Structures are given as C-alpha cells and as structure tokens.
C-alpha cells in the first residue's frame, strides 16, 4: 500500500511538470502563430495591392495616403518568396501546436486511467 501511494505521488509530480511544460509550449506556439499570421496579413496586403478602405467621410479624404514616389516599385517576386516561407512556418507552428495538444490529451488520459487503477487497487487492499 505504501509503494502504491509513493508511486501515485511520483506520478502526480511528473504530471504537474509535464502539464506546466505543455502550458508554456502552447502559449509560445500560439504567440508565434499569431505573429506569423499578422506578418502574413501585412505582407499580403502590401504585395497583393490591397488598398486601404476609406469610409467616404470628410476625415477619410483628409487621411488619404500620398502617392508613392515614381521610382518606387514593389518587388513582388521577393515578397512572394517571403510570403511562401512564412506560410511554411505558419503550417509548422500549427502542426506543432496540434501535436502538443494531442500529446497533452494522451498524457492526461494515461494519467487518469492509471490513477483510477491505483484507487481501485487501494480500495481492494
């Protein structure tokens, strides 16, 4: 009975540590994913030629962007390359986040199952 209690205490400690690691990793991946998506949005808007929407009010006409200098040209080839790389990074972060979520769910399930078995074994002894 003492060995079972000691085993359960060890499992509890390990579970708390893995849960803390998961929480940290999840927060980091969500933050990274949010940043990549924001960067992609900005780059797509710039290189995609999307114009800022004006609401037609008097303030809107005052807030118009100046025309770009005549020598300015968007380097769409380089921009598309950067966008492609960021899309791969976004995909990797999303995949890693899904993997972390799955591993956490599996670990929690295993912990719950083993804890329940330990409770039953304690009750029977």
pLDDT of the residue at 77: 75
DSSP conformation letters of 35-64? HHHHHHHHHHHHHHTPPPP--SSHHHHHTP
Contacts of 94 (CB under 8 A, 6+ apart): 33
Alpha-carbon distance of 102 to 110, in angstroms, equals 12
pLDDT of the residue at 80: 85
Q: Going residue by residue through the chain (125 aa), what tens digit of pLDDT does each one get? A: 788 889 999 999 999 999 999 999 999 999 999 999 999 999 998 887 544 444 444 445 555 666 666 665 566 677 888 999 999 999 999 999 999 999 999 999 999 999 999 888 888 87
Task: Convert the pLDDT of each residue in 1-15 to its tens digit.
Answer: 788 889 999 999 999
pLDDT of the residue at 51: 42
């Amino acid at each position: 009975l003492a060995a079972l209690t000691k085993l359960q205490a060890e499992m509890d400690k390990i579970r708390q540590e893995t849960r803390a690691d998961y929480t940290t990793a999840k927060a980091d991946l969500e933050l990274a994913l949010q940043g990549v998506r924001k960067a992609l949005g900005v780059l797509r808007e710039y290189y995609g030629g999307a114009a800022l929407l004006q609401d037609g009010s008097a303030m809107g006409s005052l807030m118009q962007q100046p025309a770009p200098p005549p020598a300015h040209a968007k380097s769409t080839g380089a921009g598309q390359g950067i966008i492609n790389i960021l899309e791969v990074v976004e995909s990797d972060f999303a995949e890693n986040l899904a993997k972390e979520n799955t591993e956490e769910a599996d670990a929690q399930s295993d912990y719950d199952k083993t804890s329940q078995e330990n409770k039953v074994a304690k009750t029977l002894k």
